[in-house]
Structure 1
Amino acid sequence: MFGRMDEPTQQQIEELTSAFERFARRFKVAEAAAAADNALNALDAQTLLFVQANAGCGLGDVARYLNVATTTMSSAVDRLVRKAMIERRRPEGNRRAVALTITEKGRYVAEEQKAGYRNACLAMLRLLEPSERAEMIRLTEKIADSES
């Protein structure tokens, strides 16, 4: 790994913390704008996106992906079911299991959510020089794909 000399400085940590707070705020605003009509909190929005991408998944699958307790996930799913955005279905082979699927309303809301993210990314990328954009994407993916 890195030696002590390669550790980030306190100033670098503070600068990145501040930048990420501003960065996250852009996404929260975009997420809130997309979800405002449907009153989704961040957990519900992420749950909806996961179910859209993983039709037939189980409650535990979503909980593991979002790194939350199954009881927390159960509450989120209950809210989304009440709002008619996802449905619980019992698979024929296992009547005790529950498969989650997105509804047409949920699909619409999820697409609005993703459009909000894309608009936030577009706004950020427009602030960069064309030559800087690929580097921003590369570094962001490197961080996002790390295990720590």
Structure 2
Amino acid sequence: MDYISTYMNFLPIIKELARAYQEFEGYSSAHIRGLGLLPVQFDVIATLANQPPMSFKQLGEKTLISKSSLTGVVERMVQKGFIAIQENPDDARSHLLKLTTKGQKTFEKVFPDHLKHLELVFQKLSKKEAKEVEESLKLLRTIFTK
């Protein structure tokens, strides 16, 4: 009995998921870089935009940035004037992050432009196909949830 063909019929799913993510990442990242940002900077700006200030922990939970990279990313964004750090009135041990005026203006410029860029490819799906993809991804995510 062939163990791989019998028990590992999920390998094509993993392969296609990885390929889809790589293609999406390449398409999205190239555009973001063309707007003058790194993908991690875009992720932080989009997450902090139009939100109340949040802690490093909250930002880490809401972005795709690894915890080990987040501190450096935030420090560089503070230096560039995109983010301000303020004291947390509820917890003296932590700080809150928020967009500066420059960060908010950057968001207002790049976010709609990037959404239009993504729409160019996602509009290739019918509404039914888009819903099916969404539901399939939700199902896939739930099998990994504890």
Q: TM-score, normalised by structure 2?
A: 0.70
Q: Which has the higher contact order (CA 8 A, sep 6+)?
A: 1
2:39 matched to which residue of 1?
Answer: 42
1:22 matched to which residue of 2?
Answer: 23
**Identity across matched positions, percent:** 15
Aligned residues: 139
Distance across 2 between alignment mates of 1:128 and 1:47: 28
Q: Is the 8 A contact 2:29 2:38 kept in 1?
A: no
Unmatched 5+ residue regions in structure 2?
none
Q: Deviations over 1:90-124 (max 9, x none)?
A: 24454443111111211122233422441233111
Aligned AA (1:118): L
The equivalent position to 1:51 in structure 2, one of 48, 51, 55, is: 48
Distance across 2 between alignment mates of 1:136 and 1:108: 33
- Look up the SS of the partner of 2:112 in the other structure: helix
Change (3 A) 1:58 1:121: same
The equivalent position to 1:78 in structure 2, one of 75, 78, 86, is: 75
Change (3 A) 1:15 1:28: same
Q: TM-score, normalised by structure 1?
A: 0.69
Q: Deviations over 1:106-144 (max 9, x none)?
A: 11222334224412331113323455344344445x268
- Look up the SS of the partner of 1:73 in the other structure: helix
Distance across 2 between alignment mates of 1:16 and 1:93: 41
Distance across 1 between alignment mates of 2:21 and 2:124: 16
Distance across 2 between alignment mates of 1:116 and 1:93: 36
Between 113-122 and 131-140, report the one with greater CA deviation: 131-140
Aligned AA (2:47): F
Distance across 1 between alignment mates of 2:127 and 2:91: 52
Q: Is the 8 A contact 1:31 1:116 kept in 2?
A: no
Unmatched 5+ residue regions in structure 1?
none
Distance across 1 between alignment mates of 2:136 and 2:98: 34
- Look up the SS of the partner of 2:54 in the other structure: coil
Distance across 2 between alignment mates of 1:47 and 1:144: 26
2:119 matched to which residue of 1?
Answer: 122
Distance across 1 between alignment mates of 2:97 and 2:126: 42
1:104 matched to which residue of 2?
Answer: 101
Change (3 A) 1:30 1:94: same
Distance across 2 between alignment mates of 1:12 and 1:145: 13
Change (3 A) 1:131 1:91: closer
Distance across 2 between alignment mates of 1:19 and 1:97: 38
